[in-house]
Structure 1
């Protein structure tokens, strides 16, 4: 409308928004609805702030950090972890580059747990990623997987509550009995197969991450560098884990045209660990490994022949280790396939040798 002009001085255009219709008497018939088949809208999910929380005055749990809690294999959500204020630190049971592990006791019940305290303050992106992974790992229920009960945040520090294994790790153990070694391998392999079915790659299988309890149950621990894989994520392209147990193609990407299969990488690390138990030492040499020359270690992994059991070992054990330590990752069997190997099937466990003094 021009300034000073009378309303509706110009002819209206049909269909123009905000204009009166030229024929207000024309209408379209509305469709009739069947009132007996009305759809009922589903309720909206509650906002993250309304999620139940087990936060205490000294720390907040995973549920209070806004992370979803997926249902477990039985279809129900895992129970919330106990409040951090109810956990009493008893003694330190391990430490590494990622953090310190404490044995803690739940005061009301006396139940022991392992509490892993992660070093450093993490930025928001890393914290969200860790929280998502812990939420998924809480749903992992398998007899060969250390149970993850939840995570807390206290003064910017992340703490992960885990199942306690009273026998400690298998690091430094020598298992001379092939029968018991086969049972250990079977348990660990069943756990790896379970993780792989859930698209979880551990990427740090090694003796110190394999724990045992007084019932001779062996379980996989430490998912500090585990990663949840899906089709939208880069398949394990970062250099994490322990180099001594890394597969050749993970160290030297030229060996496999730049491709890295995390599932096959777990099999290499597993096979190297099993051979270490049998030998009582790191399989690639006495002077290599934790305190060795890293350049020499990488050359040994990538360019030397794969380590093998000594001549006194059984043909079944030699074949089993050979399958795990194939330099070509495409030739390594999957965990499910290795569970069918003749070395795994049949033998009963024997007594575990005591750790060296």
Structure 2
């Protein structure tokens, strides 16, 4: 509407005036142009590693019932060869199924992402999948490929029979040290490849029956979070964000994704020890998210309790430094006394 124009359309009824016949529009084909979407806004904000030089980049995306490409590190089984066994997790964004390949009887996890995604989003995710498929580290969940059926994205992942560590209390420091070491090994590997997770939290740390711990839900989640939830306001995610990521006025507006991962890691390890969210039950996932963000940004960082060992208290302290430049890196933390003194110790 032009500035100063009447709020009443021509020919409409106004109190106190006689009605008049509605006039036909002179140009019925006139329409206002719709604003174009800025597709560059969904780009991953941090640099991705270069594609492997040993083999050309391939895409495992499939359309409808076609078979995915078998090129790459490992052959991706056709989706027709996968049988869903049972649902092992679900949320607002999708569902995770335990599936079995009929021809080999191998077990996988299949993450089904809700929604019919645009071609641009699918291409972004397919690019990330190819990067993740080249990841070869025992502390990172293996990604085996991606399928697209009717616009729905499905991601084939390594199956971890112990599930996530969310809600787990680990007050045995030897076992907790071993969990921390494995997560740090995975983070050090990702950071060497210039991959920033951005969502380290207990629900994204998986364990199996052999007590092997692996990092999950990296890469693809960054794109989906920006497209499916533009505000990125999930309290479960905000709860583990570093102060400078929530409040960009901190640290002179600079955000170091690697240091942000260390904050999230330290908070998760402390939560395992305490058996509760470190900032308090009232500010946890079911609490007041505005108060939670204020606590993260302006209160003193959480500390390990006084009855914990000196090594563990120091370990948490160097992870939860308010100044990201003072947080130790994953490689440095692997040499911390809390990690080194428990290597080879009994975990029971």
TM-score range relative to shorter protein: 0.7 to 0.9
Report the alpha carbon displacement of residue 171 of structure 1 after superposing the two structures with TM. 0.5
SS at match of 2:96: strand
1:126 aligns with 2:121: yes
The residue that corresponds to 1:115 in the other structure is 110
Q: 1:58 aligns with which of 65, 71, 76?
A: 65
The residue that corresponds to 2:206 in the other structure is 211
Q: 2:133 aligns with which of 130, 138, 161?
A: 138
Q: 1:98 aligns with which of 90, 93, 96?
A: 93
SS at match of 1:287: helix
Give the Cα separation in 2 of the matches to 1:260 and 1:289: 24
**Superimposed CA distance per residue, residues 11-49 of structure 1 (whole angstroms, 9 cap, x where no aligned partner):** xxxxxxxxxxxxxxxxxxxxxxxxxxxxxxxxxxxx99x
The residue that corresponds to 2:46 in the other structure is none
Q: Which runs of 4+ in 1 moved over 4 A?
A: 51-57, 237-241
Structure with the higher fraction of residues in helix conformation: 2
1:298 aligns with 2:287: no
The residue that corresponds to 1:322 in the other structure is 317
Give the Cα separation in 2 of the matches to 1:240 and 1:157: 23
**Superimposed CA distance per residue, residues 119-152 of structure 1 (whole angstroms, 9 cap, x where no aligned partner):** 2122122111111011000000101000000000
The residue that corresponds to 1:162 in the other structure is 157
Give the Cα separation in 1 of the matches to 2:285 and 2:66: 35
The residue that corresponds to 1:151 in the other structure is 146
CA contact under 8 A between 1:93 and 1:101: conserved in structure 2? yes
**Superimposed CA distance per residue, residues 132-184 of structure 1 (whole angstroms, 9 cap, x where no aligned partner):** 01100000010100000000011111100000000111001100100000000
**Superimposed CA distance per residue, residues 270-324 of structure 1 (whole angstroms, 9 cap, x where no aligned partner):** 0000000000000000111211101110011001110011110000000000000
Report the alpha carbon displacement of residue 53 of structure 1 after superposing the two structures with TM. 7.6
Mapping for residues 183-194 of structure 1, pairs under 5 Å:
183-194=178-189
CA contact under 8 A between 2:62 and 2:148: conserved in structure 1? no
Query: 5+ unaligned residues in a row in structure 1: which ranges?
Result: 1-46, 70-76, 228-236, 352-357
Provide closer, same or farther for how the CA distance between residues 55 and 249 of structure 1 changes in structure 2, counting only shifts above 3 A.
Answer: closer
The residue that corresponds to 2:250 in the other structure is 255
CA contact under 8 A between 1:54 and 1:80: conserved in structure 2? no
1:343 aligns with 2:332: no
SS at match of 1:174: coil
Query: 5+ unaligned residues in a row in structure 2: which ranges?
Result: 1-55, 224-229
Q: 1:225 aligns with which of 212, 221, 225?
A: 221
Report the alpha carbon displacement of residue 98 of structure 1 after superposing the two structures with TM. 2.7
TM-score for both structures, normalised by structure 2: 0.77
Report the alpha carbon displacement of residue 350 of structure 1 after superposing the two structures with TM. 1.3
Report the alpha carbon displacement of residue 99 of structure 1 after superposing the two structures with TM. 1.6
CA contact under 8 A between 1:181 and 1:349: conserved in structure 2? no
Equivalent pairs, count? 282
CA contact under 8 A between 1:105 and 1:112: conserved in structure 2? yes
CA contact under 8 A between 1:142 and 1:194: conserved in structure 2? yes
Report the alpha carbon displacement of residue 57 of structure 1 after superposing the two structures with TM. 6.9
Superposition CA RMSD, Å: 2.3
Report the alpha carbon displacement of residue 240 of structure 1 after superposing the two structures with TM. 7.6
Mapping for residues 6-17 of structure 1, pairs under 5 Å:
none
Mapping for residues 37-76 of structure 1, pairs under 5 Å:
58-61=65-68, 63=69
TM-score for both structures, normalised by structure 1: 0.75
The residue that corresponds to 1:197 in the other structure is 192
Report the alpha carbon displacement of residue 60 of structure 1 after superposing the two structures with TM. 4.5
